[in-house]
Amino acid sequence: ARPLVIAPSILSADFSRIGEEVKDVVEAGADWVHLDVMDGHFVPNITFGPPVVKALRRWTDASFDCHLMIAPADPYLAAFADAGCDIITVHAEAGPHLHRSLQTIRNLGKKAGVSLNPATPESVIEYCLDVVDLILVMSVNPGFGGQKFIESQVEKIRRIKAMIGDRPIDIEVDGGVTPDTVGSLVSAGANAFVAGSAVFKGDGKPAYEANIAAIRSS
């Protein structure tokens, strides 16, 4: 089995002190830091780009798990690689050449991820399994933190798990992940868990530590 990973999404952190928040959440037990990049075009919200990622790189050595909710993504892949992302995930819906996007990420020396919106079937990645390191299943419609988990995505995870066989590919889930939803996701085959509002609630590092521990122990 792939190692279990908790990847807090800084979308729910305090953006006025984002560096400290990243440092705190890693010290609180996060394995990866999940960075939600939104362009106001592919998704109805805008966050940050490569310069912010680069600035955050000074605050921790933890892996940066970069979720690009942008279209097109290809023109920006090199900039996110240079900014210090370790995993770069593009949406299958964001462009016509998914296989090429994934190859480009690998050629930049980074791990290549593909994300699927709730409405997108897993069959779109069947012919990309040779160039993929991570599959990110959206269990909410992307754009905002704090939304309700969409139950139908558990079955999609189960199908993806069967599809990848013994290939070394991480299955990550994003959206509405809480101690209550994580159990069924593990059983379905997911090993990496993004959580925004469930981690960044309460007052700073001690609260983040308890929140991460609660997700891990379920």
Annotated binding site for substrate: 9, 67, 143-146, 174-176, 196-197
Sheet with 5-8: list strands edge to edge.
5-8, 192-195, 170-174, 134-138, 111-116, 87-91, 63-69, 32-38
Yes or no: say if 40 and 78 are a contact pair by the CB < 8 Å rule: no
User: What is the maximum span of the chain, computed from C-alpha positions, in angstroms?
Assistant: 45
Closer by beta carbon to Zn ion, 43 or else 206: 43
Is 35 one of the binding residues for ligand DX5 (CB under 6 A)?
no
Q: Decide whether 18 or 103 has the Cβ nearer to ligand DX5.
A: 18
Contact between 215 and ligand DX5 per CB under 6 A: no
Give the distance, in angstroms, between the CA of residue 32 and the centroid of all CA atoms in the same chain.
9
**174 carries an active-site annotation:** yes
Q: Do 84 and 54 form a contact (C-beta atoms < 8 A)?
A: yes
> Interaction with ligand DX5 in 160-179: which residues (CB under 6 A)?
174-177
Structural contact between residues 6 and 179, judged by C-beta atoms closer than 8 angstroms: no
Q: Does residue 56 interact with ligand DX5 by CB under 6 A?
A: no
To ligand DX5, the closest distance from the beta carbon of 106 in angstroms equals 22
List the binding residues for a divalent metal cation. Answer: 34, 36, 67, 174
65 is a site residue for Zn ion (CB under 5 A)? no
**Contact mark string toward ligand DX5, 135..154, x via CB under 6 A:** -----x-xxxxxx-------
CB of 134 to Zn ion, least distance (A): 12
Residue partners of 15: CB distance under 8 A and separation at least 6: none
Q: Which CB sits closer to Zn ion, 42 or 166?
A: 42
Cis amide prior to 121 (ω within 30 degrees): no
Cis amide linkage into residue 72, ω under 30° from 0 = yes
Instruction: Verify binding: residue 36, Zn ion, rule CB under 5 A.
Output: yes
- Give the one residue of 170, 174, 195, 215 binding Zn ion; rule: CB under 5 A: 174
Our answer to whether residue 86 is catalytic in this structure is: no
Q: Kindly report the number of other CB atoms within 10 A of residue 16's CB atom.
A: 7
8 lies in the site for ligand DX5, by CB under 6 A: no
DSSP reduced 3-state for 138? strand
d(CA 127, CA 68): 21
39 binds Zn ion (CB under 5 A): no
Contact footprint for ligand DX5 (CB under 6 A): 9, 11-12, 34, 36, 67, 140, 142-147, 174-177, 194-198
Contact footprint for Zn ion (CB under 5 A): 36, 67, 174
- Active centre residues (catalytic): 36, 174
